[in-house]
Amino acid sequence: MKKTKNNELGRLTVDEFKDAEKTPIIVVLDNVRSALNVGSAFRTSDAFRIEKVYLCGITAQPPHRDIQKTALGANEAVDWEHAPNTKELLESLKSHENVIIGIEQTDDKIFLQDFSLDKRKTYILVFGNEVKGIGEELLPILDHCIEIPQIGTKHSFNISVSIGIVLWDLFVKYHYK
């Protein structure tokens, strides 16, 4: 066994990435405080060839040193846009018959492993603020809430970890099941 070298990985160029077919998922960051988490969201979205990332409210935007630190340039490949108001954005996206899913702990949730996706639809995944989660005013707009099951004492993940877990699960369900 030997480690694969970077030039052996078959990585896409930014232009090739932009032209490539995307996984029909859009990531929405609702008032995410940490630019490092934003950079991580870009990098993970790049890895799974996600359609787009929306940076809402106070969420940091490129160019930003801390985004660059964790994104490693993924923000150059992944399409992104700033939306001042998450609720207005979601209402607009909902009008296009997308499926809007909050990643949140609610009384009416679906555990991630139990969520089945329809490969004909585009999924809008809303990830919330590191402390407060998704804004309460967004809950009525959501079609579903997905919860990542946990059995430890904290019952929360860092948002970058949540993004990685959820995108990986949906990527596998979309491409391999």
In a domain, 29, yes or no: yes
Contact partners, residue 9, CB within 8 Å, separation at least 6: none
Integer Cα distance of 146 and 112 in angstroms: 6
| Amino acid at residue number 167 | L
Calculate the average pLDDT of the chain: 96
Residue 59 makes CB contacts below 8 A (sequence gap 6+) with 29, 30, 31, 32, 38, 82
Give per-residue pLDDT as tens, 28-82: 999 999 999 999 999 999 999 999 999 999 999 999 999 999 999 999 999 999 9
Alpha carbons 79 and 26: distance in angstroms, whole number: 10
Does residue 7 lie in a domain region?
Answer: no
- The DSSP H or E segment spanning 123 is strand 123-127
Q: How many domains does the chain have?
A: 1
Which pLDDT value is given to residue 33? 96
| Domain limits for position 49 | 13-176
Q: At 107, is the pLDDT very low, low, confident or very high (cuts 50, 70, 90)?
A: very high
Q: Residue 105 corresponds to which tokens in the numbers above?
A: 């702990």
Does 165 fall in a domain? yes
Whether 92 is in a domain gets the answer yes
Residue 128 structure tokens = 């919330």
Q: Measured between alpha carbons, how far is 31 from 2 in angstroms, rounded to an integer?
A: 42
Is 6 among the domain residues? no
- Whether residue 88 is contained in a domain is answered as yes
In a domain, 147, yes or no: yes
The answer on pLDDT for 88 being more than 90 is: yes
pLDDT in tens, 16-31: 999 999 999 999 999 9
Looking at the domain assignment, is residue 105 inside a domain? yes
Burial class (CB in 10 A: 0-12, 13-18, 19+), 55: buried
Whichever domain contains 82, its CATH number is 3.40.1280.10
What's the rounded mean pLDDT across residues 95-110? Answer: 94
Q: What is the pLDDT of residues 119-160, one digit of tens each?
A: 999 999 999 999 999 999 999 999 999 999 999 999 899 999
Would the pLDDT of 95 be above 90?
Answer: no
Predicted TM-score (pTM) above 0.85? yes
| Pairing mode of beta strands 99-103, 50-56 | unpaired
DSSP string, 135-172: -GGGGGG-SEEEE----SSS----HHHHHHHHHHHHHH
